[in-house]
Amino acid sequence: MAQAQQPQRKKIESTGQMMKIMSDYFYDLNDAAKSETRKVAWCTSVGPAELLRAMGFAVHFPENHAAMLGATRMATELIPEANTIGYSPDICSYLTADIGAYLKKVSPLSKAYPGIDAPPRPDVLVYNTNQCRDVQDWFSWYARELKVPCIGITSPKNFTDVTEILIDDVTRQIEALIPTLEEISGQKLDLQRLRETVALSRECTELWRQVLETATAAPAPLTFFDGTIHMGPAVVLRGTRQAVDYYQQLLEELRQRMADKVGAVDNEKYRIYWEGMPVWGRLRQHSELFADLQASVLVSTYCSSWIFPDFDAEDPIRSMAKAYLGLFIVRSDTYKEQYIKAMLEKFHIDGIIYHDAKTCPCNSNSRYGMPQRLEQETGIPSLVISGDLNDLRCVSDEQTRTNVEAFIEQLEERK
Amino acid sequence: MAQPVYVGLDMGASRTKVAVIDRHGALLGHAVKKSGIDFAATAALCLDDSLQQAGASRSDIVDAVATGYGRNNVAFVTDKCKTEIGCHAKGCHFSFTGAITIIDIGGQDNKIIKIDAEGRRDSFKMNRKCAAGTGAFLEEMSARLDIPLEEMNNLARQATETIKLGSYCTVFSATEVLENIRHGKPVADIIKGIFYSMIQRVLEMDSLTEKVVLSGGVVAHNPYLVEMAAELIGRPVLLPEFPQFTGAHGAALYALEAANAVLVSEKDI
N-to-C CA span, chain A? 16
What pLDDT, in 10s, does the model give residues A229-244? 999 999 999 999 999 9
Q: How far is Cα A110 from Cα A101, in angstroms, rounded to an integer? A: 12
Short-list A50, A184, A32, CA closest to A119: A32
SS3 content of chain A, % helix, strand, coil (to 5): 55, 10, 35
Reduce the DSSP state of residue B3 to 3 states and report it. coil
- Kindly report the average pLDDT of chain A as a whole number: 95
Reduce the DSSP state of residue B161 to 3 states and report it. coil
What pLDDT, in 10s, does the model give residues A113-152? 999 999 999 999 999 999 999 999 999 999 999 999 999 9
* Predicted pLDDT at A6: 59
What pLDDT, in 10s, does the model give residues A349-360? 999 999 999 999
- Contacting B with CB below 8 Å, chain A residues are 1-3, 375, 381, 384, 386, 394, 396, 398-399, 402-403, 405-407, 409-410, 413-414
Residue ranges, CATH 3.30.420.40, chain B? 5-85+244-268, 100-239
Chain B interface mutation, best of A396, A409, A414, highest count of B Cβ atoms under 10 Å:
A409
Which chain B residue shows the shortest CA-CA distance from A409? B86
Residue A112, CA distances (Å) to A246, A367, B56 in order: 20, 37, 60
Whether residue A286 is predicted with pLDDT greater than 90 in this model: the reply is yes
Encode chain B (269 residues) as per-residue pLDDT tens digits: 578 999 999 999 889 999 999 999 999 999 999 999 999 999 999 999 999 999 999 999 999 999 998 998 888 888 999 999 999 999 999 999 999 999 999 888 899 999 999 999 999 998 876 777 788 888 888 888 889 988 999 999 999 999 988 777 777 888 888 888 889 999 999 999 999 998 988 898 899 988 999 999 999 999 999 999 999 999 999 999 999 999 999 999 999 999 864 444 445 54
Whether residue A7 is predicted with pLDDT greater than 60 in this model: the reply is no
Handedness of CA B60, B65, B67, B72 (dihedral sign): positive
Cβ–Cβ of B83/A3 closer than 8 Å? Answer: no
Facing A403 at nearest CB: one of B69, B122, B126:
B126
Would you place residue A4 in the very low, low, confident or very high pLDDT band (cuts 50, 70, 90)?
very low
* Predicted pLDDT at A3: 46
Look at strands A351-357 and A382-387 and give their pairing. Answer: parallel
User: How would DSSP label each residue in A5-23?
Assistant: PPPP----TTHHHHHHHHH
Facing A406 at nearest CB: one of B72, B85, B122:
B85
* Predicted pLDDT at B151: 92
Q: How far is Cα B83 from Cα A409, in angstroms, rounded to an integer? A: 8
Question: Do residues A300 and A275 lie in contact, with contact meaning Cβ atoms separated by under 8 Å?
Answer: yes
Q: How far is Cα A132 from Cα A155, in angstroms, rounded to an integer? A: 9
Q: How far is Cα B142 from Cα A34, in angstroms, rounded to an integer? A: 63
Residue B121, chain A, CB below 8 Å: the answer is yes
Reduce the DSSP state of residue A390 to 3 states and report it. coil
Reduce the DSSP state of residue B100 to 3 states and report it. strand
Query: Tell me, what amino acid is at B29?
Result: G
Residue B109, chain A, CB below 8 Å: the answer is yes
* Predicted pLDDT at A155: 97
Fold of B100-239: Nucleotidyltransferase; domain 5 (3.30.420)
Residue A226 is inside which H or E element, if any? Answer: helix A224-230
Q: Residue B207, exposed/middle/buried by CB under 10 A (0-12, 13-18, 19+)?
A: exposed
B5-85+244-268 to CATH, choices 1.10.760.10, 3.30.300.130, 3.40.50.300, 3.30.420.40: 3.30.420.40
Q: How far is Cα B242 from Cα B217, in angstroms, rounded to an integer? A: 9
Q: How far is Cα B50 from Cα B57, in angstroms, rounded to an integer? A: 9
Short-list A232, A240, A233, CA closest to A53: A240
What pLDDT, in 10s, does the model give residues A316-344? 999 999 999 999 999 999 999 999 999 99
Question: Do residues A238 and A205 lie in contact, with contact meaning Cβ atoms separated by under 8 Å?
Answer: yes
Q: How far is Cα A214 from Cα A250, in angstroms, rounded to an integer? A: 11
* Predicted pLDDT at B171: 79
How would you write A184-198 as a 3-class SS string?
A: HHCCCCCHHHHHHHH
CB pairs under 8 A between A and B: 48
* Predicted pLDDT at A9: 63
Query: How many CB atoms sit inside 10 A of residue A327's CB?
Result: 19
Cβ–Cβ of A399/B80 closer than 8 Å? Answer: no
* Predicted pLDDT at A1: 47
Cβ–Cβ of B83/A405 closer than 8 Å? Answer: yes
Domain ranges for chain A, please list them: 20-414
Cβ–Cβ of B82/A396 closer than 8 Å? Answer: no
B window 169-208, beta carbon within 8 A of A: none
Angle between helices B135-145 and B187-203 (to 10 degrees): 160
* Predicted pLDDT at B1: 54
Query: Tell me, what amino acid is at A309?
Result: P
Please, what's the b/e burial string for A85-122 (b: 16 or more CB within 10 A of its CB; e: otherwise)? eebebebbbbbbbbbbbbeeebbbbeeebeebeebbeb
Cβ–Cβ of B124/A406 closer than 8 Å? Answer: yes
Q: Residue B167, exposed/middle/buried by CB under 10 A (0-12, 13-18, 19+)?
A: middle
What pLDDT, in 10s, does the model give residues B208-243? 988 999 999 999 999 999 999 999 999 999 999 999
Average confidence (pLDDT) over A241-268 = 96
Question: Do residues A7 and A411 lie in contact, with contact meaning Cβ atoms separated by under 8 Å?
Answer: no
* Predicted pLDDT at A8: 61
Whether residue A392 is predicted with pLDDT greater than 70 in this model: the reply is yes
Q: How far is Cα A264 from Cα A229, in angstroms, rounded to an integer? A: 14
Reduce the DSSP state of residue B216 to 3 states and report it. coil
Cβ–Cβ of B123/A381 closer than 8 Å? Answer: yes
The full length of chain A comes to 415
